[in-house]
Every structure is written in structure tokens, then in C-alpha cells.
Copies of this chain bind each other. A is one copy, B any other.
Amino acid sequence: MPLLVVGSVAFDSIQTPAATRERVLGGSAVFFSYSASYFAPVRLVGVVGEDWPSEHSELLQKRNIDTAGLHVVQGGKTFFWKGKYLPNMNDRETLEVQLNVFGDFKPTLPEHFRRSDFVFLANGSPVTQLKTLEQVQQPKLVVADTMDLWIREQHAGLMELMRRVDGLVMNDSEAKLLTGEENLVAAGHKVLELGPKFVVIKKGEHGAMFFSKHETYVLPAFPTDRVVDPTGAGDSFAGGMMGYLAAKNSFEPKVLKEAMAYGILVASFNVEDFSLDRLKQIDRSDLDLRMEKYRKMLSF
């Protein structure tokens, strides 16, 4: 089943304690699409400026990512983010943000994108996410990401979004912020009460938790000492998860758990280098090999 994603497409300048990269390919929709493409065809909706090199589009197209929804604004500049990771490689500071064309982003879905069974609303305001959703005809599964900015500044819109989606993906600090709960299990259950049928709380190096009415579980991250750049880890996780669900055309509990695990593993590769550099080197068989190790790690 084709999978639709709407989100940011960006240039990232990244500083880590060990290295620096300038204006590399990034953005939530990019990390998501590439990660999902190991499993299913992807339809990308986003916006870029005329500084966008066609090689980037070609890179995505080669992975069976349909970029018909990637709008190029003539005279505009692509969203730019500059950030610096602290020595723990988890906390980061934003040094500079230029929203550019992403600031006025009003997604319009190409005609052939409107029938998409699986939909992921990546990083964007709840208003933008809802406007996108209105253009999709009878989706089977809609999952959204959100972030601290919208929890603080667009609370009403976010509440409306929560009632309209099947699943919500957020990170641990955002779940605490949204619910006022310090305990993540309590926080997960509180988010469920706001509408979604399931909630995934990402914990970075500590893995991810899943919550539904009937199930609560946690899966650890794949342990690695090769953390070069965590940018896009959360979007890679979501891409792997949604890609697997779309491939299986299912979101029954058993498939959801497998999807969570694949999400964790795609993310574990993603952090091993800057931008998409590590993902470009691997294929589905590398993921399946790591899955074997991961299953073994969790068996006793």
C-alpha cells in the first residue's frame, strides 16, 4: 500500500563534538520517506526553494519515493536548520532557524496522492496537518507527529488533531509537557484519553514505548557506540514503522509491534552517520540481519 507523508524538507548544518557538516539534506519528510522506502512506496509532500538541487529529488526517486508533491517555490529558499549537539549526543541547541518557504507551506496533494491508505503527518503545525488530512479520501490509518512548539502554542488545534488521528508519535519530553505527568507510562495513558487509538513515545537512546487500550510495552534501542549524528532519528523511526505497516497493509497489534521494532532498527542505522549517509549504504537485508540480532538480544 502506498504511504503518504507530509512534512519538512530541509538543509541542516550540524555540529557534534566530533565533526561538523554544512547544509546537508534533512527534514522530517526526507528522513521519514527514505526510511519507509525499505518497505513500501512513498508519496512525499513538502516544499523547497529554488536552491534545491535536483540530485536530492533524484536520490529520493531512485528509492521509489514519488516526489510529485514536492513543491518548488521559484525565488524562495529551502527551510534551514542549524544545530549543535551536546557531548551526551542527545540534548541539542538550535543555533539558527530560517523557515523560508516552509513558513508559508500550504500542502496541496496531487490528485493521485488523495487516495492513500496510510498517512503520516510529520512535523508541522496542527492546522497544516489537519488541512492535509482533509484532502485524503478515506485513509485506513493516520498517524501524526507533534512537537513542543505546538503543544505550547497551538493547544486547541492539537486537541482537534488528536481526535482525528489513529496514532500519535511523540518524544518523552513532549509527552510529559502535554500531560503534566513525569511518569511516562502514566503520560502515555493520558494521551490515549485525548483521542488516538495508539500512542508511541520515543525515548531516544532508550527505545520506544507503545500504548493502546489493551497493551503497554517498551522496546529498547539497539545498543550502539557509533552515534555520529542523531538528527532525524525520530523521523527514521516513524518511517520504518509506517513503511512496515503499509507493506503489511495491516495495523493489528502483532504487526504494530514488529513495525515498532523495524522503526527502532532503521533509526539505529540512521544515527551512524550524518544526513542520509548511512541509510544510503544499507538495504533491506541489512535491516533484516539487525532484526535477527535484535530478536536474539530480547530472547532469554
Contact = CB atoms under 8 A, between A and B. Distances in A.
Interface of A: 87-89, 182-186, 189, 203, 205-207, 209, 216-221, 223-225, 227, 254, 257-258, 260-261, 295, 297-300
Contacts of A203: 206
Contacts of A88: 182
Given A206-B203, A217-B223, A258 B185 contact: no
Given A88-B182, A206-B206, 10 more contacts: A183-B225, A183-B227, A185-B224, A186-B225, A189-B225, A209-B223, A219-B220, A261-B300, A298-B299, A299-B299
A102 to B, nearest CB: 32
A183 B219 contact: no
A15 to B, nearest CB: 16
Given A203-B206, A300-B261, A185 B223 contact: yes
A205 B257 CA distance: 21
A-B CB proximity, top 10 nearest: A185-B225, A206-B206, A186-B225, A257-B300, A298-B298, A217-B297, A218-B220, A220-B220, A88-B182, A185-B223
A38 to B, nearest CB: 18
Contacts of A257: 300
Contact of A182 (B87, B206, B220): B87
B220 A89 contact: no
Contacts of A299: 298-299
Given A203-B206, A206-B203, A206-B206, A298 B219 contact: yes
Contacts of A300: 254, 257-258, 260-261, 295
B225 A218 contact: no
A218 B203 CA distance: 14
Nearest to A186: B225
26 contacts: A87-B182, A88-B182, A89-B182, A89-B183, A183-B225, A183-B227, A185-B225, A189-B225, A203-B206, A206-B206, A206-B207, A206-B220, A207-B220, A209-B223, A216-B223, A218-B220, A218-B223, A218-B297, A219-B220, A219-B298, A220-B220, A258-B300, A261-B300, A295-B300, A298-B298, A299-B299
A288 to B, nearest CB: 14
Contacts of A261: 300
Nearest to A190: B225
Contacts of A89: 182-183
A273 to B, nearest CB: 15
A227 B225 CA distance: 30
Nearest to A256: B300
Contacts of A207: 206, 220
Nearest to A296: B217
A202 to B, nearest CB: 13
